[in-house]
């Protein structure tokens, strides 16, 4: 299905779009009075590719001058063609390479399908056997297929079982168990609210096989709201005895980085070191961001953040 935006950049009205008359340029600004007051991240817009409001969220896709096509949900950038691989690779390969045998994987959210693309590398390597993805809004998948084709290229791969549903509800009802669960959700404002609560960590732990590993984006990071981050880590630690925090460079996310929380019920495993690794030739051919050294270094925090987060 081809999606076409019936309008022009000049007449398009959206809270995130500002016209600068001085040089006749149009800019997208990500702002949040609650999460990051007094700062904004901006990208110059070349064209609006699509805009719609679904039952769940406001979806905007635009072509930027320097970051390629950009997917925005409720005013927050989800991914850009320029830097998406950093986040997609880390959230996927850190848990997969930390698990001895990650055969069954569940992805909650992930509508841009970038995590699926990364998981297929492990299907081809014969470690991952099945992938279930539970995304609440099929419009995100459709638009990603159209406008982010490199990310969404495996959305209908035969090893992927796609369910359009609320991830929280799915976890409450499922009897299946998984080796790795990746929560690739949007931020807590909107349909992903419940993912940032203790009950969600409980549901995750119930859906894990022995030695199972979960990972989720933490929404906040050490620069944006370290207090919130600490609270979220405490919620995770309420359920999981082994919890770690890592981060990656993400120029298109406000403050330039993204935080990830990884956890397991297995107290003895060191999640900060890969349990398995490819030789460097294969590593370089498969990944652009991840390698076994990046795996470990992503967990190393500056002194003040390490002390604050305990």
**Which residues are known to be catalytic?**
184
CB 249, CB 255: distance < 8 Å: no
Residue 112 or 179: which CB sits closer to ligand SAM? 112
Q: How far is CA 264 from CA 95, 237, 241, 270, in A?
A: 10, 10, 7, 10
Phi, psi of 308 (to 5 degrees): -65, -45
* 175 contacts: CB under 8 Å, gap ≥ 6: none
What radius of gyration, in Å, describes the C-alpha atoms of the chain? Answer: 19
User: Does 131 interact with ligand SAM (rule: CB under 6 A)?
Assistant: no
User: Does 132 interact with ligand SAM (rule: CB under 6 A)?
Assistant: no
Q: How many residues bind ligand SAM (CB under 6 A)?
A: 23
User: Does 45 interact with ligand SAM (rule: CB under 6 A)?
Assistant: no
- C-alpha 28/C-alpha 268 separation (Å) is 46
User: Does 119 interact with ligand SAM (rule: CB under 6 A)?
Assistant: no
User: Does 291 interact with ligand SAM (rule: CB under 6 A)?
Assistant: no
CB of 211 to ligand SAM, least distance (A): 25
Over the window 10 to 39, marking each residue x when it contacts ligand SAM by CB under 6 A and - when it does not, the resulting string is ------------------------------
- C-alpha 198/C-alpha 301 separation (Å) is 24
Q: Is the dihedral of CA 243, 120, 67, 30 positive or negative?
A: negative
DSSP 187: -
Residues 61-100 that bind ligand SAM (CB under 6 A): 73, 78-79, 87
Of 110, 212, 259, 274, the residue at the interface with ligand SAM (CB under 6 A) is 110
Residues lying near ligand SAM in the complex (CB under 6 A): 73, 78-79, 87, 108-112, 134-137, 140, 166-168, 184-186, 191-192, 217
């Amino acid at each position: 299905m081809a999606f076409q935006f019936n309008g022009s950049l000049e007449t398009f009205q959206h809270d995130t779009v500002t016209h600068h008359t001085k040089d006749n340029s149009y800019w997208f600004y990500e702002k949040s009075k609650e999460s990051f007051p007094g700062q904004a991240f901006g990208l110059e817009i070349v064209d609006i590719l699509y805009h719609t409001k679904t039952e769940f969220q406001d979806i905007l896709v635009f072509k930027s001058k320097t970051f390629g096509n950009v997917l925005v949900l409720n005013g927050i950038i989800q991914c850009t063609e320029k830097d998406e691989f950093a986040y997609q690779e880390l959230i996927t390969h850190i848990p997969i390479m930390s698990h001895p045998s990650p055969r069954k994987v569940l992805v909650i959210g992930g509508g841009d399908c970038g995590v699926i693309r990364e998981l297929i590398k492990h299907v081809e390597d014969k470690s991952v056997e099945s992938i279930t993805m539970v995304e609440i809004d099929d419009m995100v998948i459709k638009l990603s297929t159209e406008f982010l084709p490199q990310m969404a290229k495996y959305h209908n791969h035969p090893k992927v079982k796609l369910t359009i549903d609320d991830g929280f509800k799915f976890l409450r009802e499922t009897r299946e168990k998984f080796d790795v669960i990746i929560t690739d959700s949007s931020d807590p404002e909107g349909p992903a609210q419940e993912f940032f609560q203790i009950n969600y960590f409980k549901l995750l732990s119930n859906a894990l096989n022995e030695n199972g590993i979960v990972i989720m984006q933490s929404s906040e990071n050490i620069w944006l709201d370290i207090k919130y981050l600490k609270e979220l880590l405490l919620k995770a630690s309420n359920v999981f005895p082994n919890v770690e925090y890592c981060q990656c460079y993400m120029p298109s996310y406000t403050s330039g980085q993204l935080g990830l929380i990884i956890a397991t019920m297995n107290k003895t495993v060191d999640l900060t070191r890969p349990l398995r690794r490819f030789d460097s030739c294969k590593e370089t051919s498969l990944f652009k961001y991840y390698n076994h050294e990046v795996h470990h270094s992503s967990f190393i925090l500056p002194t003040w953040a390490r002390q604050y987060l305990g």
